[in-house]
A = this chain, B = another copy of it.
Amino acid sequence: MRRYVHPDPADIRLPEVLFALSDATRLGIAVQLSDGGERTAGELGGDIAKSTMTHHLKILREAGVLYVRSEGTRCYNSLRLGDLEGRFPGLLDQVLGFAVKCGYTSAGARR
């Protein structure tokens, strides 16, 4: 089973979080996960190339925005809603609210 490294909540840094959210595809991924659910890369990515999704999910994970849980051969992605809320209260909600308004509602949304 693959192991993924996640930063501790105290090590989640503002510039990295903003960078992780500074891309249309990654905003779409975060919006899709904002219901608190878990999804595989395939479920999130739609028509997006697997390697592209891997790249975006890694940036989100390393910034502390996303948690990856391995189960057998599958990986399930979810947002670290509690950790982000503890670190930067209200920030993710606000950013994702604007993301929805701007049409970044899925990884492959056309804009």
A residues within 8 Å of B by Cβ?
13-16, 18-19, 21-24, 27, 88, 90-91, 94-95, 98-99, 102, 104
Contact = CB atoms under 8 A, between A and B. Distances in A.
Nearest to A93: B94
Copies of this polypeptide in the complex: 2
Nearest to A19: B22
A14 B105 CA distance: 13
A80 to B, nearest CB: 16
A101 to B, nearest CB: 9
Nearest to A13: B102
8 contacts: A14-B27, A14-B95, A14-B104, A15-B22, A16-B22, A18-B22, A22-B22, A91-B94
